[in-house]
Structure 1
Amino acid sequence: MKARSGWLFSFADMVTLLITFFIMMIVLNKGEITRLQKWSEVQLDRSYDHLSQQLNATALDDMFVLQRETKGLTLDLRHPEAFVRGGYALEKPVADGFEKLAGLLENLPVLASPHDDLPPAIRRYVEKEHYKWVAAIRIEGHTDQSRIDPRSALRNNWFLSSMRAQSVRTVMAENSTLAPWLAISGYGAQRPIRFEKSAEAQALNRRVTLTISAGFEKERGKEPNPESD
């Protein structure tokens, strides 16, 4: 009986070795992904410092509030005359501000290709696993709590907020090379920064927010390249 079941011990040893091997591979892979994430965070930190200095130097920090958040960088427009009630055309001072901002964002570190700046070990992993650097600037439109006349061509606040974001995108795209990175979204009145019903609070809620994100994403449909070890 012992002779017949002896193969089970060898089989169990082999299974144990395979499990150990796969656990080691998972741990090593997770370690590399963590290094990619940390490197990406450093680039966002650099971009935050760079943009903060530029906003201060051009006095645009009076119009835009820059914050470093977990999702990236956010720029909140804080101008009480950004949009007239029910309108989506940018007032001239605000349009000029976005034109200047577009020029500053063109030189943002996270929008540049990081390939040459990557440490050799990280570069090899990126090439082997087919990761690519993806950066984006999302322009989010917002409205106050006032309802849109259903007979209006604007239809509702969702549409109005999207049109405000589009107005900003048009100004930035026409005055810079940022077009490939720019995307828009509209949130209507769902994300107010002021909840009071005063005219001042509602004017501040008629705004746009820019969110700048960047990081590595794996390209779909590509197998790891063993020659990049």
Structure 2
Amino acid sequence: MARRRSSQEEPKAGAPEWMTTYGDMVTLLLCFFVLLFSFSTVDAQKFQAIMQSFQGSLGILDSGTAIETDQFITEAMKEDLTTNQRQELEDFRKLQEVLEEYLESYNLESDVLVSQENAGLVLRFQDNVLFDPGKAELKPRSKQILEDISAFLQTPEFLEKSIRIEGHTDTVKVNPSLLYPTNWELSAGRASNVVRYLIEDLSLAPERFSISGYGEYHPIAPNDTAENKSKNRRVDIVILRSEYITSKPK
């Protein structure tokens, strides 16, 4: 008597047939990406510099500064600039060199600092250079410095550049009985007096200027020592890059 076949066939040994096709596809994809990687080149120094620039920013990495001033980052940024923007940065670089030579020749390099920042070229005056403590009237010596600086601001490369004067203080409260009852008024008054001197006495075009009084709220150092507080008491002359000009007179 013939044996009845089971209604359920025995499953085949091994993996399902579709797994073979899937495995082949994954292997081919892996080979494809390995091939792409073999064609690419990685600049280890530039990669490390970019990683450092993220340290401390947005809470992604621990410690470090938000922006790392590294030549590789600067070069990478320049690759994304237009021709006009590159020319503008080159003009700023040349002006910075001239200003630094002038400051060095008059032993002012410790009182007036020149640096390139995101917004543009910054001339940073410590408060003892321009003003007496708690006051906003320009000192006689400071007027000569501003007069020399104004000559650079009127060179052809920068004649059309907009300029922002920023006043800053430390956290020490001013005497409320004085003309400037708070650090807000003191910082704005100092910036305003610098602008008035540049416009009224040195005949620079007023439409080029704007002022900002930041009080104690934009420090560049912790207000924990006398030395750091002196760094925060400052007036910045910022020659603005074109993209940082919010509005232009028509």
TM class, shorter-length: 0.5 to 0.7
Equivalences, count: 167
Match in the other structure for 1:160:
186
Question: How big is each residue's C-alpha offset from its partner over 1:2-46, in whole Å with a ceiling of 9 and x where there is no partner?
Answer: xxxxxxxxxxxxxxxxxxxxxxxxxxxxx9x82332233233223
Distance (whole Å) between structure 1 residues aligned to residue 82 and residue 241 of structure 2: 15
Distance (whole Å) between structure 2 residues aligned to residue 60 and residue 108 of structure 1: 25
Distance (whole Å) between structure 2 residues aligned to residue 38 and residue 56 of structure 1: 27
Report the CA distance between 1:187 and its aligned residue. Answer: 0.5
Q: Structure 1 residues 203 and 92 mapped into 2: Cα distance closer, same or farther (>3 Å)?
A: farther
1:89-104 counterparts in 2 under 5 A? 89-104=137-152
RMSD: 3.2
Q: Secondary structure at the match of 2:236?
A: strand
Q: Structure 1 residues 174 and 194 mapped into 2: Cα distance closer, same or farther (>3 Å)?
A: same
In the alignment, which of 198, 206, 209 is matched to residue 236 of structure 2?
209
Q: Structure 1 residues 103 and 110 mapped into 2: Cα distance closer, same or farther (>3 Å)?
A: closer
Distance (whole Å) between structure 2 residues aligned to residue 83 and residue 206 of structure 1: 10
Larger relative contact order (C-alpha < 8 A, sep ≥ 6)? 1
Structure with bigger strand share is 1
Question: How big is each residue's C-alpha offset from its partner over 1:36-93, in whole Å with a ceiling of 9 and x where there is no partner?
Answer: 3223323322332333333334444342100122321001113545433321112222
Max Rg structure:
2
Distance (whole Å) between structure 2 residues aligned to residue 210 and residue 53 of structure 1: 18
Match in the other structure for 1:143:
169
Question: Match of 1:142, as an amino acid?
Answer: H
Match in the other structure for 1:76:
124
Identity %: 30
Question: Match of 1:192, as an amino acid?
Answer: P
Give unmatched runs, 5+ long, in structure 1.
Answer: 1-30, 113-134, 221-229
1:14-163 counterparts in 2 under 5 A? 34-78=82-126, 80=128, 82-107=130-155, 109-111=157-159, 135-150=161-176, 152-163=178-189
Q: 2:215 aligned with 1:188, yes or no?
A: yes
Q: Structure 1 residues 41 and 153 mapped into 2: Cα distance closer, same or farther (>3 Å)?
A: same
Question: How big is each residue's C-alpha offset from its partner over 1:178-199, in whole Å with a ceiling of 9 and x where there is no partner?
Answer: 2332221100011233434444
Report the TM-score, using the length of structure 2 for normalisation: 0.55
Report the TM-score, using the length of structure 1 for normalisation: 0.60
Q: Which moved more, 1:77-86 or 1:63-72?
A: 77-86
Is the CA contact (8 Å cut-off) linking 1:99 and 1:171 kept in structure 2? no
Q: 2:203 aligned with 1:177, yes or no?
A: yes
Distance (whole Å) between structure 2 residues aligned to residue 40 and residue 54 of structure 1: 21
Distance (whole Å) between structure 2 residues aligned to residue 186 and residue 83 of structure 1: 15
Give unmatched runs, 5+ long, in structure 2.
Answer: 1-78
Report the CA distance between 1:206 and its aligned residue. Answer: 2.4
